[in-house]
Structure 1
Amino acid sequence: MRKTTYAARAGALLGAAALALTACSSASGSGSSSSSSDGAAASSSGSSMSSDGLKIGSLLPQTGSLAFLGPPEIAGVNLAVKEINDNGGVLGADVEHVAADSSDADHADVAPQSWSDLQSKGVSAVVGAASSSVTKLVVDDITNSKTVMVSPANTATSLSGYSPYYFRTAPPDTVQGSALGNLIVQDGITDLGILVFNEEYGTSLRDVVKSTVEAAGVNVTYGDKGQEFDPAAASFTDAVTSILATNPQAIALIAFDQTKSIVPELVAQGFQGKLYMVDGNTADYSKDFDPGTLSAWDTQGTIPGAYPDDAFKKRLLGVDPKLDNFSYAAESYDATMLIALAALKGGATDGATIQANMAAVSGANGGTECTGFQDCADLIKKGEEINYQTVSGAGPFNADNDPSSAFVGIYKYNDDNTYTWVKAIEGKA
């Protein structure tokens, strides 16, 4: 059982309450990251060490509608690799990071090609993808090759327990959807419209939000199955007209980059309620909308994961000084650390060995709590079971390879259309 208490983890979050989280709209790629090492770590299982160093691929958005998530996720991977290599690497060799672009579901040819490139370079594990729909494009090919896939941002409920080789460090929509639904209920909303795009991420999250609010007596005026909008539509005028015709007191907008077109349409058609957003569109709109646009609707958003504290942000900025968005950086860092620790515990860097040890190093079997690679590696060398303490606050993997618990952050929009962390709540998967 995970011994870290909610109070201890929430205390770390409260220290960041006054900080604003902003998102960038440009992508940045990354090559491999390594540093010299001189120590060899012993396997607790007594297996012979692999002759090959651990090679981790990342399949994260450098282009497309989710490109704003790429820089923090890639920085999270690079930071973990740097810290691992600064502390001796894995089994006596540096870890190598090979970065590839996942793009988005509207550019469905990118991720499969990127996976082919990563596979040709001999990666044993992949951190990615960010989008659940993009993951669906490649997950069978990746996991069938006995390569471990760990997403730092997938939330679709259909991916729970998808494959023994598929893991995620972000919670499924059952956690974020429940958190958003409960926030809406707590705000006293009685009539809610849900404007959602026809994409698995959106419909999966919609289903959880809808069931949560309806269980509390909220009337969902719009957003049933069949009322989704086309994410590739040239205009969203008809979708906005349709939802406003139902007179919702508030709207939950579940979308990606389409938000930049939908919000002006809501303004043009005179929407005057409250607006809620999710991790796919809770971003910095200071360059997109007039001042006061989002604050006028008391707009709030949810993003799974703990808000990174100052110390972790400083470490991230050390690998990417231009970083101004930290969404899913912690989950990407944790995914990389867990992969490396699993290889270390198993005594080899192949995918099958990593897969067999992922749950154990996450703390699923109990073990001694440890923080960071060196602390955990020292325990593994002594033959001890470990319970890696995630930066994101996620609990050990459950039977579906999902986090058994996780935090969801609540953010509120400011007059300049940036957003500020308000609080975090912990939910169970």
Structure 2
Amino acid sequence: MIRRSTAARGLAVAAVLSVGLSACATTSGGGEAEGDADPLKIGTLLPLTGNLAYLGPPEVAGVGMAVADINEAGGVLGNDVEIASADSGDGDNLAVSTNSVTDLLGQDVNAIIGAASSTVTLNVVDSVTEAGVLQVSPANTSTTLSGYSPLFARTAPPDTVQGSALGSLMLEDGHQKVAFLTMQDDYATGLRDNVQKAVEAGGGEVVYGGTGDGTEFAQAETNFANVVSDALAAKPDAIAIFAFEETKAAIAELVTQNWEFAGKTYLCDGNTADYSKDFDPGTLEGVKGTIPGADAPDDFKERLNAWYEEDAGEELTDYAYAAESYDAAILVALAAVRGEGTDGQTLADNIRAVSGSEEGATEVSTFEEGVEALEAGDEIAYKGQSGIGALNEDNDPSSAFIGVYEYDDKNGIVWTKAVEGSVEG
């Protein structure tokens, strides 16, 4: 068993650790359990390297603090929860995630939290499912993953929600002719398609980079001279960028070609990050971006930062998907308690129920409250830090918030508001 000081630190420096699976089968929850009651072992597949590495610290902190809270409340079925960690890498180098999952599935983990990238998850989810392990992503938004596997769930909404919010935001700001700079990637093209639907439904027009245009740029692209020139030639009144690390080069080229950013440029969850060290002050002032999830309470952020400082020796500079990561770990643990077993199938059979899918469920906001209600014979609806609704039949959140952010004069992001949307399924 790994207590906070070792489990959390192991998570924070996870690049050197490996994890695994439970190959046992069981039935779902509430009554007599047929599954094992071995210690619950959660593996993490989070971006410690690659284009999404900026999401690693908040996600690592979210899972680590959740496990610390679970163990402080008595653990799961009499045992402390164990953590084992691995690097997901990104879609540019899928060998990283392939090797990490092989390691994880050799170490008897019962659940894997991750990946951040939808492309990475699509690379490994079949292997995880075949092994009988539950996978819960705190950040995947590709619509391809909705209902993909009974052993896959997520605490972030599919891109239908963010796409609608971002498209509506562009229209609300008065834009009618928009251009899209889109990376060739399932996540980026899927989000672009949903933003386009919202823009066109509101009477707007996509003048460059739309669905089927064939204008997507390659992953890891660094030369955007022609892409930006072609986009600006279409005379858009707004531009949205759907990419990861490539965004920096795209922005640099937009600066070179004298694009006016303020109030006319939009980013998404893959690139709404702090660029204070990348561009001159004021470059991105007035640019807006969207990230799934409500703005987490200040006390939650303070606890996360304290946890990460203690266990990684650094301060958090970003909190994207931290709440979703925290809630993913809590839901997995509560599923084990309800099902009275820690194997992957039991977790999968019970995660929807503890998220609030059952009628008459008692609302709880912490792991400890959830355990007390389950032990009293109640069904529960865990309402955690991310503000998502109960998981639907596709194991997607039935509702979720999309946070809207705006860049300040230092190229840092400031939360401005949240828009709630429902998820079909």
TM-score normalised over the length of structure 2: 0.90
Contact 1:44–1:381 (CA under 8 A) maintained in structure 2: no
Deviates more, 1:284-293 or 1:44-53: 44-53
Match of 1:14 in 2: none
| Structure 1 position 299, deviation (Å) | 0.5
Q: 2-side partners of 1:64 and 1:232: how far apart?
A: 10
| Structure 1 position 400, deviation (Å) | 0.6
User: Letter of the aligned partner of 2:394 in structure 1?
Assistant: D
Q: Deviations over 1:33-63 (max 9, x none)?
A: xxxxxxxxxx842326734100000100000
| Structure 1 position 29, deviation (Å) | 3.0
User: Letter of the aligned partner of 1:384 in structure 2?
Assistant: D
2:80 to 77, 94, 117: 94
| Structure 1 position 318, deviation (Å) | 2.7
| Structure 1 position 141, deviation (Å) | 0.3
| Structure 1 position 383, deviation (Å) | 1.5
SS class of match (2:92): helix
Match of 1:408 in 2: 402
Deviates more, 1:242-251 or 1:48-57: 48-57
Match of 1:382 in 2: 376
Matched, 1:47 2:37: no
| Structure 1 position 272, deviation (Å) | 2.3
Match of 1:284 in 2: 274
SS class of match (1:363): helix
SS class of match (1:105): coil
| Structure 1 position 232, deviation (Å) | 2.4
Contact 1:29–1:71 (CA under 8 A) maintained in structure 2: no
Q: 1-side partners of 2:303 and 2:378: how far apart?
A: 28
Match of 2:5 in 1: none
Match of 1:272 in 2: 260
Q: 1-side partners of 2:70 and 2:30: how far apart?
A: 18
Q: 1-side partners of 2:350 and 2:324: how far apart?
A: 18
Match of 2:352 in 1: 359
SS class of match (1:362): helix
Q: 2-side partners of 1:199 and 1:52: how far apart?
A: 39
Q: 2-side partners of 1:69 and 1:29: how far apart?
A: 14
Contact 2:220–2:245 (CA under 8 A) maintained in structure 1: no
1:80 to 47, 66, 69: 66
Contact 2:35–2:346 (CA under 8 A) maintained in structure 1: no
Match of 1:29 in 2: 13
Q: 1-side partners of 2:378 and 2:323: how far apart?
A: 25
How does 1:222-261 map onto structure 2 within 5 Å? 222-224=208-210, 225=212, 226-261=214-249
Q: 2-side partners of 1:342 and 1:300: how far apart?
A: 37
Contact 2:37–2:340 (CA under 8 A) maintained in structure 1: no
Unaligned runs of 5+ in 2: 1-10, 19-28, 310-314
Matched, 1:176 2:166: no
Matched, 1:155 2:141: yes
Contact 2:51–2:90 (CA under 8 A) maintained in structure 1: yes
Q: Deviations over 1:259-288 (max 9, x none)?
A: 111111001111125100001100111110
Deviates more, 1:170-179 or 1:222-231: 222-231
Matched, 1:143 2:129: yes
Match of 2:337 in 1: 344
| Structure 1 position 382, deviation (Å) | 1.3
SS class of match (2:89): coil
Contact 2:274–2:411 (CA under 8 A) maintained in structure 1: yes
| Structure 1 position 99, deviation (Å) | 1.0
In 2 relative to 1, CA 409–292 (structure 1 residues): closer, same or farther, beyond 3 Å? same
Q: 1-side partners of 2:422 and 2:271: how far apart?
A: 23
| Structure 1 position 323, deviation (Å) | 1.5
Q: 1-side partners of 2:104 and 2:209: how far apart?
A: 39
Contact 2:35–2:343 (CA under 8 A) maintained in structure 1: no
1:417 to 411, 414, 417: 411
User: Letter of the aligned partner of 1:29 in structure 2?
Assistant: V
Contact 2:42–2:84 (CA under 8 A) maintained in structure 1: yes
Q: 2-side partners of 1:403 and 1:355: how far apart?
A: 15
TM-score normalised over the length of structure 1: 0.89
Contact 2:12–2:61 (CA under 8 A) maintained in structure 1: no
Q: 2-side partners of 1:29 and 1:103: how far apart?
A: 14
Match of 1:107 in 2: 93
Q: 2-side partners of 1:362 and 1:28: how far apart?
A: 27
Q: 2-side partners of 1:51 and 1:420: how far apart?
A: 44
Q: Deviations over 1:59-107 (max 9, x none)?
A: 0000000000001001100011000000110010000011110000111
User: Letter of the aligned partner of 1:392 in structure 2?
Assistant: S
User: Letter of the aligned partner of 2:321 in structure 1?
Assistant: Y
| Structure 1 position 317, deviation (Å) | 1.8
Matched, 1:397 2:391: yes
| Structure 1 position 123, deviation (Å) | 0.4
Contact 2:222–2:246 (CA under 8 A) maintained in structure 1: no
Q: 1-side partners of 2:217 and 2:205: how far apart?
A: 20
| Structure 1 position 426, deviation (Å) | 0.3
* Paired positions, count: 391
Contact 2:275–2:411 (CA under 8 A) maintained in structure 1: yes
Across the aligned residues of Structure 1 and Structure 2, the Cα RMSD in angstroms comes to 1.4
